[in-house]
Structure 1
Amino acid sequence: MEEKYILSLDIGTTTIRSVIYNIRTETIVKKADNVVLHYPTTGYVEIDPDELWASVVDVVKKALQSANLSPGQITAMGISTQRSTFITWSRSTGKPFHRFITWKDMRADKLVKQWNASYLWKVIRTGAYILFLMSRSKRFRAGSVLKFTNNQTTIRLYWALLNIPELKAAVERNDAMFGTLDTWLLYKLTGSKLHVTDVSSASATGFFDPFTMNWAGWAMSIFGIPMAALPKVVDTAGDHFTSTVPDIWGAAIPIRCCIADQTASMWGSCCFEEGEVKLTMGTGTFFNINTGSSPHASVYGLYPIVAWRLGSELVFSAEGANNDTASIIQWAQNLGLFENPEDSAGIAMSVSDSDGVFFVPAFSGLGPPYNECTAASGFVGMKPSTTKAHLVRAVLESIAFRTARLYECVRKETEYSLHTIRLDGGVSNNDFVAQLVADLTGLRVERPVQVEMSSLGCAHIVGLQLGIFKSKDEIKSLRKIGTVFTPREQVKKSYNAIISRWEDAVRRMFGWYDVTPTTSSVSATRDLTPQSNYRNSKEKIGKCL
């Protein structure tokens, strides 16, 4: 039988990976390149689209050459991308109005704080709660506690609409196109033919309603987001993605899947059943639980997202996130606490405890259950006896502590009986962190042989679409577990007092940064305040609810 090959293109926050698999999902070749992040000023985190495109083309070309395959020998490809990173460009020329504004960008932080504290938003949330009491609808329950965050697209796009003159002018003449990274990539790969996004990437923007499966009308009304600029929302897989244009790599390659990276990793980890959990520890930590056919209405801050839609199969996920994980490891390395990240686990285990030192991992604020964007990072409790080993242990413990708190959110908000966590992401290779996660959650923790699950998840979906795999059960049979970490009850008990002290350290870091709303540096031609938008939009509030 002629061998078939699947190409996975995975664009994360820091790395672009091109992986070619055979029909047994064995890796034929893997090539990678770095995503170049630009920091033009404090709080700005950008990606240059021309640099990204050149890297994408090159990394796929190198994978094909290394595998000694022509593009015509690739049966089909799948794409997974980071979420909430977006760009806008001209419909007529295809020229971008700005660089990609990434999910880690903080330029709209003042607007986020203003809106969360605004009278208009309080009215909307109160109205949503009243509607929840009347209808018991989970959609309104979720709306009653909804807060804007920097890593969602909504307020950053609002900032761009206010601050970038070329974009404002393009919106007025209906020449603006918006897209998250997946949308722009499909637009480029198909020679400007497609302007689409899949449901998983759309749901992570913050202005796609997973309860109605449509772009949210309230966002269009309040923030002036032009519906004509938004991409069509499509299924996660199918032939609607068409093919790449031949002149990119020399032959057209069919595209059969496009999915957000975190839900792609759910496919890589085979989290197909309701209640199954995967934990990604990469640039950030992402705790995802399959919630089946119903979106989750969160109280503590778990975010309801669409995991995938394949025809009639619509699956949701509840997600808890901590934005700083691998970035903390990198910071600690740059600080000189260790030479190589691989050494950190051994250093942490060289001491019996952290000697009363605690680290708060909050370079990008703290997510659920704290939801405190004004928190600061820092060591607490250092003394003359503190050594580098104690500091390293405190850093690694903090990653496990945050993960355990995300797990507590899941326990409080859901009724699932969990038994196993499936790991992926680079930091999951750290034995100290992986074992401590098992100890603190009391769950069996499984680490796969290969921890890059987003690429593999794409291959699984593409293979299922092509009929290479007959069922999800067949995909499960190919799953390879590398190491299992079994919880140790005595260790969990020994950490009870330690975690209590760490929680005290976390609370001390709350409110470290100024939260007083200040005027944002935007064009003076438009009043951007929530109060102004209330005056301009008060007739639409009922529709928003």
Structure 2
Amino acid sequence: MVFVATLDVGTTTVRCFIFNAKCEVLGSSTERVDLLNPQPGYFEIEPESLWRKIVKVINAAVVEARLKPTDITSFGLSTQRCTFLTWNHETQEYYHNFITWKDLRANELVDQWNAGMAIKSLNIVSYGLYLLTRSNRFLAASVLKMMNGQITLRLLHSLENNPRLREALKRKKARVELLDSWILYKLRSGNGIDKNIDHISDITSATATGLFDPFTLSWSPLGKVLFGIEPWLLPKVVDNGYRYFGHIHPNALGPEWQNTFISIEAAVSDQTAALWGSQCFERGDVKITLGTGAFLNLNTGNDCHASLMGMYPLVAWQFRDIQERAQTVYCVEGASHDMGTVIEWAQQCGFFTSPMETSAIAESVSDTNGVYFIPSFSGLGPPINDHRAASGFIGITPSTTREHLVRAILESIVFRIVQLCETVEKESKYTLRLLRVDGGVSHNDFVCQLLADATGSCVERATSIESSILGATYMVGYNCGLWNSFDKLRRLRQIERTFMPRPEYYTSIRKHIVIWLKAIERFKNCLLRSRWNQSGIEVEASESIGS
């Protein structure tokens, strides 16, 4: 009998599901992540608290499946990307908490580097090399800009502001852990018992950091040259079928696991896992994850796409053939970092008591009564690419109701996805005819139907929207021979509903999008910026108002 345990560690939840050989869920468990906010703009996770939740959900899922730990045969891991910590793995001393991908502490560094001569010179030189070589690698570097979502400047901020970390670096007693590399180390070493376990991260997690060059498939030398980040600090990058993942140490998950021998068959980032869960195996396939953020990923096959509009070239997945040659599939990604975040904020403000209500609330009015919302708590990504953009409503009048505000919020997050779709179509020359959606927000029928109407594309929602969990499980089965072809995996997908575009609504929706784009101009480059000292006390505030 085959039983697969799949762990998914996201921004808001830690989940474990137990599957059988038919990919049926036998048991599951979920715990909410304790996201810390020690200062405005800081978003952290305390590592040992997270580890306890990981152990808890794995054990609880096995119990709910009415199995014993010894029954579990294979394990898969899916994690959020660009969340990292630094520590001394030998002494288990942490130099800081996990700094998550939503963290904004490096805002000032982002501004300084993007306005500085180093990046400008890199852009100019790279464009010159592109004209000579026509290499996509240099084209991508010619428009390179630093972003908060990547690790680079948040890590540099830690190196500059953490004396304990600086001292540890002098003694070469610190290393950088991505979330996946840290979990793999804890599982494989028995929570630090075996100090000789290697320091590895899967390529799909590494490729999103901003420190990895997807064109050369290695850590970029710019990390050391520009930022002083030595390669030895970073994990060894491995493919998604890495044969030396090994096994979960018998001491990793508690006394019940003492006699277990569970093979780790796959580790993958959440967005690649969602690509697999949505079965976007072919060039031109696209999925949109509607979770804490919205992530559009287009499979570009063997081509590493160089974007001029802020889309990001990534390794979608990588395996090695029998001769150990890397077989690499790429994707291009566009992100809107505020999706579920906006809905959660609106709930906290009292607009509704449950996100499940929002679809009916939005449909209770025919339009927003001239109200528009800009969803940019973390700035606006491609094609706008303004991390200083502010959030807010515009067009509120005495006749504005709660229903109008809720509809404006939902419309705004759809309009951002439409922007991503149009950007990737323009750059890749693909026509997106089918959008496969997953994630918590894809439960919302209003959002899915509006997306279909606004893009003219069919929107497909699977029976299970847990695509990252499913995708990691599919990859486990693929690696261990349970489902050893994409055709066999395709038979497992079940569609719950397809939202067909309604042409009669297209023109009016496009008119609303045009007005919404004008509203964005009022919110661009106008974020009230504050500087905070180490005690959380505001020491300086400045305002930069856009046109």
TM-score range, shorter chain: over 0.9
**1:120 paired to 2:118:** yes
1:28 offset after TM fit, Å? 1.0
CA distance in 2, matches of 1:139, 1:58: 44
Q: Secondary structure at the match of 1:458?
A: helix
The range that moved more, 310-319 or 48-57, is: 310-319
State the match for 2:159 in structure 1: 161
State the match for 1:403 in structure 2: 417
Superposed CA offset, 1:106-125 (max 9, x none): 11110011000101110111
**1:501 paired to 2:542:** no
Contact 1:209–1:215 (Cα < 8 Å) also in 2: yes
User: Percentage identity across aligned positions?
Assistant: 46
1:514 offset after TM fit, Å? 5.2
Q: Secondary structure at the match of 2:393?
A: strand
Give the counterpart of 2:170 among 151, 169, 172.
172
State the match for 2:378 in structure 1: 364
State the match for 2:273 in structure 1: 264
**1:338 paired to 2:367:** no
Q: Secondary structure at the match of 1:168?
A: helix
State the match for 2:315 in structure 1: 306
Q: Secondary structure at the match of 1:38?
A: coil
Following TM superposition, the consecutive aligned residue runs of length 4 or more in structure 1 with deviations greater than 4 angstroms are 518-522
Q: Which runs of 5+ in 1 are unaligned?
A: 523-545
Contact 2:368–2:408 (Cα < 8 Å) also in 1: yes
1:96 offset after TM fit, Å? 1.4
1:519 offset after TM fit, Å? 11
CA distance in 2, matches of 1:217, 1:294: 22
CA distance in 2, matches of 1:231, 1:176: 12
**1:486 paired to 2:482:** no
CA distance in 2, matches of 1:520, 1:275: 47
State the match for 2:3 in structure 1: 5
CA distance in 2, matches of 1:260, 1:430: 25
State the match for 2:32 in structure 1: 34
Contact 1:110–1:520 (Cα < 8 Å) also in 2: no
1:380 offset after TM fit, Å? 0.4
State the match for 2:214 in structure 1: 210
CA distance in 1, matches of 2:248, 2:276: 24
**1:235 paired to 2:253:** no
CA distance in 1, matches of 2:467, 2:314: 19
Q: Secondary structure at the match of 2:283?
A: coil
**1:328 paired to 2:342:** yes
Q: TM-score, structure 2 length as denominator? A: 0.93
Letter paired with 2:347? Q
CA distance in 2, matches of 1:255, 1:489: 48
The range that moved more, 487-496 or 122-131, is: 487-496
1:417 offset after TM fit, Å? 2.9
**1:247 paired to 2:256:** no
The range that moved more, 246-255 or 43-52, is: 246-255
1:237 offset after TM fit, Å? 2.1
Letter paired with 1:446? E
CA distance in 2, matches of 1:101, 1:270: 31
Q: Which runs of 5+ in 2 are unaligned?
A: 321-325, 536-547
Contact 1:111–1:520 (Cα < 8 Å) also in 2: no
Q: Secondary structure at the match of 1:310?
A: strand
Contact 1:174–1:228 (Cα < 8 Å) also in 2: no
CA distance in 2, matches of 1:453, 1:509: 34
**1:375 paired to 2:393:** no
Q: Secondary structure at the match of 2:470?
A: helix
Letter paired with 2:159? L
State the match for 2:454 in structure 1: 440
Letter paired with 1:491? Y
Letter paired with 1:451? I
State the match for 2:148 in structure 1: 150
State the match for 1:538 in structure 2: none
State the match for 1:277 in structure 2: 286
State the match for 2:538 in structure 1: none
Contact 1:238–1:465 (Cα < 8 Å) also in 2: no
RMSD of aligned C-alpha atoms?
Answer: 1.5
CA distance in 1, matches of 2:345, 2:161: 32
Q: How many pairs were matched up?
A: 519
Q: Secondary structure at the match of 1:238?
A: coil
CA distance in 1, matches of 2:351, 2:89: 49
Superposed CA offset, 1:163-191 (max 9, x none): 11111111111111111100111111111
